[in-house]
Structure 1
Amino acid sequence: MQKNLIIITILFLFSSCANFLEVEPELAVSDEQSITNGKGAAAALNGVYNKLASDSYHGVSFRFITNLSGDNLRWVGNSPSNREFDVFEVFTSNSRVESLWNAIYSTINGANHIISKVPDIQDQAFTDAERARILGEAYFIRALNYFDLVRLWGGVPIVVKPTGSIEDGLGIARSDKAAVYEQILSDLEKAEQYLELTTVKSRASKGAVWAFRSTLYLYLERWQEAVNNANKVIEETTIYQLNKSYSDFYLSKNTAESIFEIDYTINNRNNYAINWLPGSLGGRREFLPTDDLISLLNNPLVGGDRRNLLLLDQDIYYGNMDFKPATGIDQVYVFRLAEIFLNRAEANVKLKKLADANNDLKKVRARANVSEVSDYANEEELERQIQLERRLEFAFEGKRWFDLIRTNKAKATLGITKDYKLLLPIPQQLIFVDKEIEQNEGYK
């Protein structure tokens, strides 16, 4: 009986990781449906993008967790498991944590299949340029997967070979954070070698690699490298520019400001808007902006045009992040140019180049129609203003939680008393079936 229970649990746990055994090429990668030609490789890559966009990953769960964990949103819905993120009391059995973990590793496995098989494809119709692009995009997505993992869980198992059975996914111990970051850097280096610049923002590109690196190096405190990569993006002015109006990048897809976005269509919907909107607009009203954020956004001296992120309905403010709830085609932004300006500003403060940092801060504020102020001559105050700008500029984009942790401000800002709450628990089902995986401290 116990043996049967374990088998059932393993099957349940790795159901999303085993999705590559399905047959549909648009949704999954499989050993049974081999990647043997250019069309198969392209279909497999589409499947990886679909995994990235799924409700279990960036479509809903990733943004649920990251937005609720910061200080910009509060949970007013009925689900106790979602409230756990808002109050920093996350249980090891939390279903959203488990589904996100599984979805990320499922996406990694899809990328691993492409990276393993595409170099050996023999197909005269498969051009070298197409082969390089598919490989580059797979490396980029895998880097993003591990970046999401390391920020949420710390050290994690590093899996770089495709798995074809449930058992193949077991028995890999967690690597430390340094090793995970090295894997990310290695994948980004390969992605840069393969990818080109493109105006198609819903696909990984060389510009997206630079943007990713400019962010990654802030976490690693490699300030000059953060500046160098930000410079590469900002200097490509024919491809990347700040939109004239703050709301432009939500109203339209593939704008000049976008660097990498996750696309949604009528056939592949974004189901996130319903959680934000009031009942009068067909929503469930499960998120509400915090009073502190409402006050900041409504202050013209700091919020500017970003007050449009708030929707007032029957004397209650709602987050107005999604503008197309009826169709579900809202894109999700992973990197956009405003972030790269603020990355460069933050790094330049650390390099004591305050004039340069002030100039970049002014660019982002000017686009938001915030009145210009004198330069900040004090490093600490300038850094505080940059973090405030990030909080407002990306208010509902899931970056605030990571920024607070990265700058060692999470505990003081959010009232967290124990360090272990800065990471999520490893899903308990995984701990149960895989003895090589250690639970994060505090959750044991």
Structure 2
Amino acid sequence: MTNKKVVCASLLMLGLLAGCGKDYLDEQPRDRITSEIFYKTETDAIQATNAAYAELVRYGMFNYSLWGIGDVMSDNSTLGGGGGSDGIEFQQLDNYNIPSSNPLITAHWRSCYLGIGRANLVLANVPAITMNEDLKKRSLGEAQFLRALYYFYLVRGYGDVPLITTPPASAEAVNTLTRTPAPQVYEQIVTDLKAAADNLPTGPYSGDDIGRASKWSAKGLLAKVYLTQGNLPLAASQALEVIQQSGKTLNPAYADNFNVAKENGPESLFEVQFRTSPQEYYDQNGPGFIGNGFFGARGLNTVRTGGYGFNIPEKEFVDGYETNDLRRDVTIWKPGDVYPGTPRIVQPASLPGSPFGYNVKKWFTGRDLTPLQYDSPLNIPVLRLADVYLIYAEAAGPALGLPYLNRVRRRAFGLPIEVPSARDLTITDVTAYKAAVLRERRYEFAFEDDRWYDLKRTNTLIPVMRAQGKNIQDFNVVLPIPQSERDVNPNLVQNPGY
């Protein structure tokens, strides 16, 4: 790659720059939109805001990289696949032998910064637009929420990262950035989420606006940020506000959270919006979720191309389900399960890459679509009310939190959510209680890209992965800074150990 191409890649990482001086060109560029001819109308503001959402469905975020980090790097799953060098980028994550050139961690970094760059452009330019004031507030709130979300993934993944809150004015400004201490990044995340909560409507949205962030998206994410920081009182108070005031309710059935016909439902606080792709092949940056094909059983005709059999549930994870936990049959395929549709296909006792015959089921829509598609229109929840219940349960402790932990458990067993049951826990020991909440999170949010971050923030990642036989080192609690970014900017000091 030439130096010019590397520089361009780095600029792409940060989204559009603020714009060059008027003297740079005598004529108005005709092949692209610039900041001098854009950001003039209400439509421009909405389109710019939409662009900040767009990275969520891309290769570097929920369509590909995040299930490698959140799932495969955790104790929930292993790579699977066809063996040999198949999915080598995931093998590196799975085995904790991660070079700084790994394409998944590189794409994740760049997607986050592209999203941040687009949010920064909204926040820098939309205030000056003459438009409906409510829509202006909403656009600014969405940009603040999204910037916080992208930074939340960055700081949890890489530790100290460059903090950029305004569009860089030049390539030189980009290529001399240094890493900002994580506490300062968290401070900005909190600031953004508080501002977003003030600017965003309470919802619900309708029509083309369904899926946008709301006030309760921001407050729910703020509760999760506080929990990650270890600020339990603020995590509890924010979570309780969402529980009591948002109007959100748990879906009566756990499976409703993963039903295409019931997306953005009563439990949803924020989810990544996928839709059916017209092509007959996978596109890591397309509108549909490619996990439908990547998680599909290898060698069975359940999705177009037969499925790749990646992200295989670990036997220990599957064996850990309690008897009659309904989440199991929503989450995994196990031997003997029958796929919907014709011809009749039965999950075998073993598969290539899956010696115990397990596959991820939660995102499967392959045989419900005509014709068979590789990708899926099923949204991925980023935050649901069950998460807020368990945030509150963890932060408030057993005296106040047990009722919310037990509500989640009751639903898992198909019981009335508000009625005490034999499945309720009665733990009073704080250490045992914390372990019970973490375990409940594991099974409630399995394959929703969250487990690795839960293990990290509870300081259990190293012992848990070593118990699973992984060669994890102490420095693997963060990802390496992508080498391609350090080639452009030597100020991006590498994390120790990489």
> Normalised by the size of structure 2, how large is the TM-score?
0.81
Cα distance, 1:373–1:130 mapped onto 2, change above 3 Å: closer
Could you say which residue in structure 1 is the equivalent of 2:272? 262
Give secondary structure in 2 for the equivalent of 1:197: coil
Aligned with 1:146 (options 151, 157, 175):
151
User: What are the equivalent positions in structure 2 for 1:157-196 lying under 5 Å apart?
Assistant: 157-163=162-168, 166-196=171-201
Gap regions ≥5 residues in structure 1: 23-27
Determine the structure 1 residue equivalent to 2:458. Answer: 407
Letter in 1 for 2:43: K
For residues 11-47 of structure 1, the C-alpha deviation after alignment (integer angstroms, 9 at most, x for no partner) is: 344445456899xxxxx98536521111001011111
Q: Secondary structure at the match of 1:281?
A: coil
2:245 corresponding residue in structure 1: 236
Equivalent position to 1:300, from 323, 326, 351: 323
Q: 2:315 aligns with which of 283, 291, 298?
A: 291
Local SS of the residue matching 1:141? helix
Instruction: Quote the Cα distance in structure 1 between the aligned partners of 2:377 and 2:245.
Output: 28
Question: What is the identity, as a one-letter code, of the residue corresponding to 1:258?
Answer: S
Task: Find out whether 1:330 has 2:393 as its counterpart.
Answer: no
1:83-122 to 2 correspondences below 5 Å: 83-122=91-130
- 8 Å contact from structure 2 (residues 220, 239) kept in 1: yes
Q: Is the 8 A contact 1:20 1:30 kept in 2?
A: no
Name the CA shift for 1:246/1:20 in 2 (closer, same or farther; >3 Å).
farther
Q: Quick check: 1:363 aligned with 2:407? A: yes
Normalising by structure 1, we get a TM-score of: 0.91
> Which residue number in structure 1 is paired with residue 23 of structure 2?
none
Residues 76, 288 of structure 1: 8 Å contact kept:
yes
Q: Deviations over 1:274-297 (max 9, x none)?
A: 111113212211121000111123
Which amino acid in the other structure matches residue 339 of structure 1?
D
Separation in 1, partners of 2:385, 2:328: 16
* RMSD, matched Cα: 2.1
Please list every run of at least 4 consecutive aligned residues from structure 1 whose deviation after the TM superposition is greater than 6 angstroms: 19-22
Question: Is 30-39 or 329-338 further displaced after alignment?
Answer: 30-39
Q: Is the alpha carbon distance of 1:89 and 1:39 closer, same or farther for their aligned partners in structure 2, counting shifts above 3 Å?
A: same
1:59 alignment counterpart: 63
What is the identity, as a one-letter code, of the residue corresponding to 2:293?
Answer: I
Preserved CA contact (<8 Å) 2:80 2:311: yes
Shift of 1:264: 1.2
CA contact (8 A) 2:100 2:482 kept: yes
Match for residue 10 of structure 1 among 4, 7, 11: 7
CA 1:16–1:180 in 2, change beyond 3 Å: closer, same or farther?
Answer: closer
Cα 1:14–1:5 change in 2 (3 A) is same
Greater helix fraction, Structure 1 or Structure 2: 1
| Inter-CA distance 138–180: structure 2 relative to 1 (3 Å threshold) | same
Cα distance, 1:188 vs structure 2: 0.9
1:41 paired residue number: 45
Paired letter, 1:206: K
Query: Is residue 376 of structure 1 aligned with residue 427 of structure 2?
Result: yes
| Superposed displacement of residue 418, structure 1 | 2.4
Kindly indicate whether the alpha-carbon contact (under 8 Å) linking 1:306 and 1:393 is maintained by their aligned counterparts in 2: no
Give the percent of matched residue pairs that are identical in Structure 1 and Structure 2.
Answer: 27
Greater Cα shift, 113-122 or 315-324:
315-324
Whether 2:345 is the aligned partner of 1:309: answer: no
* Distance of 1:30 and 1:226 partners within structure 2: 41
Indicate if the aligned counterparts of 2:462 and 2:472 stay in contact, CA closer than 8 A.
yes
Q: 1:321 aligns with which of 355, 362, 387?
A: 362
Deviation of residue 417 (structure 1)? 4.9
Contact 1:170 1:434 (C-alpha < 8 Å) held by counterparts: yes
Q: Partner amino acid for 1:110?
A: R
CA deviation after TM superposition for structure 1 residue 6, in Å: 2.2
Deviates most, 83-92 or 268-277? 268-277
CA contact (8 A) 1:20 1:110 kept: no
- Aligned partner of 1:136 in structure 2 is 141
- What SS does the aligned partner of 2:6 have? helix
Deviations 1:314-347 (A, max 9, x none): 1211110213243621101110011111000101
> Are 1:433 and 2:488 matched, yes or no?
yes
* Stretch of structure 1 that moved more, 90-99 or 161-170: 161-170
2:18–2:168 CA contact under 8 A, matched in 1: no
Is the CA contact 1:37–1:121 (under 8 Å) kept in the aligned structure 2?
yes
Deviation at 1:364, TM superposition (A): 0.2
Matched-pair contact (CA < 8 Å) for 1:261–1:334: yes
- Counterpart Cα distance in 1 of 2:445 and 2:496: 31
Partner Cα separation in structure 1 for residue 188 and residue 33 of structure 2: 22
Q: Deviations over 1:385-429 (max 9, x none)?
A: 111000000011111111111111011000155221111100101
**1:63-96 deviations in Å (ceiling 9; x for gaps):** 2222111100100121212111111111011111
Question: Which of the numbers 195, 200, 209 marks the counterpart of 2:218?
Answer: 209
Alignment equivalent of 1:280, drawn from 276, 280, 301? 301
Kept after mapping to 1: 8 A contact 2:15/2:118: no
- Tell me how far apart the structure 1 counterparts of residues 359 and 171 of structure 2 sit (CA, whole Å): 43
Task: Go from structure 1 to structure 2 and tell me whether the alpha carbon gap of 1:218 and 1:111 turns closer, same or farther (over 3 Å shift).
Answer: same
- 2-side partners of 1:374 and 1:434: how far apart? 52
Go from structure 1 to structure 2 and tell me whether the alpha carbon gap of 1:394 and 1:30 turns closer, same or farther (over 3 Å shift).
Answer: farther
Q: Distance in 2 between matches of 1:387 and 1:88?
A: 22
CA contact (8 A) 1:30 1:164 kept: no
Task: Pick closer, same or farther for the CA change 1:142–1:15 going to 2, 3 Å.
Answer: closer
Larger radius of gyration: 2
Note the C-alpha offset of 1:100: 1.3
Kept in 2: contact 1:258–1:333 (CA 8 A): yes
Aligned pairs, number: 425
Matched, 1:71 2:95: no
Contact 1:230–1:344 (CA under 8 A) maintained in structure 2: yes
